[in-house]
Homo-oligomer: A and B are copies of this chain.
């Protein structure tokens, strides 16, 4: 998935010019979000491990070079030069799982201009998606304290990588696991899942389907009970569950996937309790997002776990971020873009975060990296000369960090309703630098 050709054509047409002109000075680019999407009070840094994997392995294959040479757009000398292209730059970044806000860079690349430019497309492609899903998943997590949360969204994620990365990003943000088997293998994410309606339908009798399943999976049986009649299935379950219990086979839970989830959960809970199955939990799924989960929790629906899919994995209410990877410095001089509505703060930046007496985040200062006290700030060097300084932390460690960070957010930001913007102050040294850059650069 990390072909060097997974990029926009203009990266290569620009690189041809840089090659022709020998423009090989150090370029500094930063990735940041310009504007918070509606319905989000914070974002969560995510995807850094995949960016570093990409940078460490970046190279053009023989086949790709042949294709470029034959496509009629590029000179042979330039294409030949790409054979040796590796990423040899430095990267500083916020740790994955760290909350961040508009205009704050979460990744800074400093590398020879052609390298730093070429990787723009894939870096945005990797970071935007995981940031977006992690932020959405964190909202679900905050809306359902203590509940089991499982990512069910692979099928309606936008392709294979989106399915994998949304499993990763949601687990990172506090989900308990995923249905995505490959994600379980890749990142040791706990897996959940039992049966589909088709499984029930393939049997002539629903109860026989349940019994067969329990016998094949005696340790972990969750039964899907809404294929024909939810409450009816719950009622017929008790004799079967008692019979199986006698053989040491436990029915752990039932899943409801359609209809009025709160009403069905209440009815089913009562039936199970009355029938002597108080230990069988109710799990719900189907068109869930943070709002529906919050409403079910607030309404006291007796549901102990939620499968959340499509709306989270597509970040359905905000399916993209107004984000950018912008040139901030070239050949030692700070730069900025001034296009209408898209102006950027120039130079290498750092984010200094204040914590209040209560341990909660109190405000950030966006400043020039040079103006930040040495060793302070949220962006830390993670790659030097194209090599990781330390291995990326295991996802479980990232998840612990994210949960601790979510606990430090001000209460207003932890709610689902729109909160006043978290205070991010642009420091005077950075404002002065912008004025200086504007005075220097010229369109002529």
Which segment of A90-98, A201-209, A274-282, A362-370 sits at the interface?
A201-209
Q: Tell me if A103 counts as interface (CB < 8 A to partner B).
A: no
| Overall SS of chain A's interface | mixed
A63, closest chain B residue (CB): B185
Interface residues of A in 199-246 (CB under 8 A from B): 199, 201-202, 204-207, 212-213, 215-217, 220, 226-229, 232-233, 236
Among residues of B, the one whose C-beta sits closest to the C-beta of A16 is B216
A180: Cβ under 8 A from any B Cβ: yes
Q: Which residues of B contact A232 (CB under 8 A)?
A: 443
Who on chain B is nearest to A438 by CB? B228
**In angstroms, how far is the closest chain B Cβ from the Cβ of A120?**
7
Most-contacted residue by chain B among A23, A160, A229 (CB, 10 A): A160
Contacts of A326 in B (CB 8 A): 197-198
Residue from A17, A165, A315 with most neighbouring chain B CB atoms (10 Å): A17
Contact between A337 and B227 (Cβ–Cβ < 8 Å)?
yes
Number of copies: 2
Does chain B have a CB within 8 A of A184?
Answer: yes
Check A206–B444 contact: CB distance below 8 A.
Answer: yes
Instruction: Give A128's nearest chain B residue, CB to CB.
Output: B156
A230 to nearest B CB, angstroms? 8
Could you say which residues of chain B place their CB within 8 Å of the CB of A427? none
> In residues 142-177 of chain A, which contact B (Cβ within 8 Å)?
152, 154-165
What is the distance, in angstroms, from A231's C-beta to the closest C-beta of chain B? 11
Residues of B contacting A228 in the complex (Cβ-Cβ under 8 angstroms): 338-339, 441, 443
Give the distance in Å from the alpha carbon of A205 to the alpha carbon of B215 in the complex. 74
Contact of A121 among B14, B154, B192 (CB under 8 A): B154
Q: Which of B7, B125, B441 contacts A159 (CB 8 A)?
A: B125
- Find the B residue at minimum CB distance from A29: B198
- 9 A-B pairs within 8 Å (CB atoms) are namely A17-B199, A17-B217, A117-B198, A125-B157, A158-B314, A159-B161, A205-B442, A206-B442, A236-B444
